[in-house]
Every structure is written in C-alpha cells, then in structure tokens.
Amino acid sequence: MKTINEWFEEYGESHRNPVNKLVHWICVPLITFSVLGLLWALHPLVAVGLVGLALVFYVLLSWQLAAVMLIQSALMLWMLSLMPLVFWPCVIIFVLAWIGQFIGHQVEGKKPSFFKDVQFLLIGPAWLMGFVFRRLGWRY
C-alpha cells in the first residue's frame, strides 16, 4: 500500500495550477458533502457506513489525518441531519461542484486523478487537509 506522502505526491501531479487548486478547495468539500447527503437521503446509516469505510482507509495512511477527517465528516453529517430537504439540494451541489472540478482540470490541462485510480476520490479531501496540517506544523 502507498504511503500518505506517495498518495499526495501522485495526486499533486495533476493539481499544480493555482486556479485548479482554488477550485479544489471549493469543490472537493462540496462534493464530499453532497455524496454524504445523497447517501443520507437513502438512509442515514448508509452515510455513516461510508464514513466508517473511508476512515479505515485513512487510518491505514495516517491516524492523525483520520482523526481530523472523522471530525470533518461528523460535522457534515450533523449539518445534513439539520436539513429539512437533503436529496435535491445535494444533487444540485454535486452536479455544480463536478462541473467546477472539470473546469479546474481543463485549466490544469490534466485529467482528474480518479480516472487513474478510484481511490483518489478519497485522497482529494485528505490532500486538502494535508495542506492544513503543514500550515499548522502538524505531522500526518
């Protein structure tokens, strides 16, 4: 299994353009939220189960990062629990955020990483959190 640094390095190869990076800071959290929301609309336990599976992946890479991703996911699930309507707002967020992602990659001139490996769909949110960790001087 790749290390977290290997994942981040490989993911970073197609995320060097400042516009694409900015788009990712906006769109990746929105996509994460909307996916959890779509699953929440099916049944809250489905969304919680997906978070649990993702956390297993994150723990294998970095327990520190996994702990923060757990907090982030819990906040998103809490927000979803407060929403009277979840499905259609999340569909709209999902579609618009993916349009943004593809525009960012058009500017970058490289395909999204998940076309190479679907696991990059989990690396994207962690990659952003890695920036936060480095800014704060934390180890991951």
CA separation for the pair 73, 137 (Å, rounded): 22
CA separation for the pair 89, 138 (Å, rounded): 35
Distances (CA, A) of 24 to 32, 46, 84, 121: 11, 25, 27, 12
Q: Please name the residue ranges forming H helices in 83-119.
A: 87-108
> Which has the closest alpha carbon to 110: 102, 100, 122, 99?
102
DSSP string, 40-56: HHH-HHHHHHHHHHHHH
Walk along the chain (140 residues) and give the pLDDT tens digit of each residue.
899 999 999 999 999 999 999 999 999 999 999 999 999 999 999 999 999 999 999 999 999 999 999 999 999 999 999 999 999 999 999 999 999 999 999 999 999 999 999 999 999 999 999 999 999 999 99
> What per-residue confidence (pLDDT) applies to 52?
98
> What per-residue confidence (pLDDT) applies to 38?
98
Cβ-Cβ contacts under 8 Å for 77 (sequence gap 6 or more)? 36, 40, 44, 47, 48, 51
> What per-residue confidence (pLDDT) applies to 1?
87
Instruction: Record the tokens describing residue 61, joined without a space.
Output: 């890479």
> Which has the closest alpha carbon to 12: 139, 132, 110, 118?
110
Q: What is the pTM for the complete model shown?
A: 0.94
Distances (CA, A) of 105 to 3, 21, 37, 42, 126: 25, 9, 25, 31, 18
Tell me which residue has tokens 């649990």: 52
